[in-house]
Structure 1
Amino acid sequence: MSGGSPAGGVPTVGRREWNEEYRRGRWRYLGEPDEAARYQAIVARILTAGATEVLDLGCGEGLLARHLETAGFTGRYVGVDWAHSALPPTGGPNRRFVCANLAQLPVRGQFAVVVLSEVLYYLDDPDRALAEALALVAPAGELVVSLYRPAAERHPGWHSLISDLATRLAGLAGDQGALIGSAGHRRWSMHVVTRLPNPGLD
């Protein structure tokens, strides 16, 4: 992950600021009930895909890992975030957390499901991030992307950026379309892209 953003009106946040925000509890609301529906939709997708390994890019405090555990997921989980203060102090059986920049991932191999949950719009180069995330998806596996969908009149900069990202996701080969959901005042979309086998590369 990097700290910049490609769109005007969207704040730039550096690594030190991310660490401070997590220490102060700025992102604690992600663990509140209004967010549970979004995590549950991602978990349902992972379970439906029959995935045995999940890579969670921009995992924050590991909330997806908790929801997966509650749902009975026993496969391999790797969470990556560059805010050290966000990451849980320990992993657990089949669970690993890595502090790293998403632009310089130390992760190797391929995963049945790779998740980008409300992280893509914080990156300097979303297109590169999407390409690199897809490269980590096993053939016939899935890239699952969750995007916050703010109202245009309240957050015009965010709305413009996220609408553009949603359009790019819809244009990817293997795109299965988007699921739109909401809870409380939060509205989000979940995009699923299947990595199509490439006989020349896979």
Structure 2
Amino acid sequence: HHHHHHIVIFVDFDYFFAQVEEVLNPQYKGKPLVVCVYSGRTKTSGAVATANYEARKLGVKAGMPIIKAMQIAPSAIYVPMRKPIYEAFSNRIMNLLNKHADKIEVASIDEAYLDVTNKVEGNFENGIELARKIKQEILEKEKITVTVGVAPNKILAKIIADKSKPNGLGVIRPTEVQDFLNELDIDEIPGIGSVLARRLNELGIQKLRDILSKNYNELEK
């Protein structure tokens, strides 16, 4: 009896706004680049929307005040966010993804989940091959690198993609799910930030499996 698993491909466009700026301005490539949302109050008021990896290495993070980014990375290039341009790139990439999927869920401007189960006739290895092909096609058509996770469900596909950034391809096969879950750190679960992770660590929960030994009321509190 052939076991039919869902095959989900999660696609995450790498440092998207900054990467689009690099595509349109090749002279930025390889230099620290920060895309900013200027609030207009003063010349530097506002926040960082996205930084490329060169800027991240210097400590620049999304959400950080622009003024703080400028202190830690004075040599970086700072550009204003151009949402309509990124949306046009995103729409083209989403349309391309849509062609490869039975169903698509666009999660944000730079993330999408594809159910490809029927497209690859339930064959997981073919799903991985399709993920490779998708990466290649986006790179050829739009010059954009993406990180992809392939797994039997959405959450696992996202987790393995997050662990494979940038320009990666992460895979959790159906046979690997149990081992993967057993070893998963609690803070690697989307939605569990540093504050909640710390609280859970204090309760003796380091790994996801540690919740199995906790009583529900204690966790609920």
Q: Aligning the two structures, in what range does the TM-score lie when normalised by the shorter sequence?
A: under 0.3
TM-score, with structure 1 as normaliser = 0.27
Higher helix share: 2
- Which is strand-richer, 1 or 2? 1
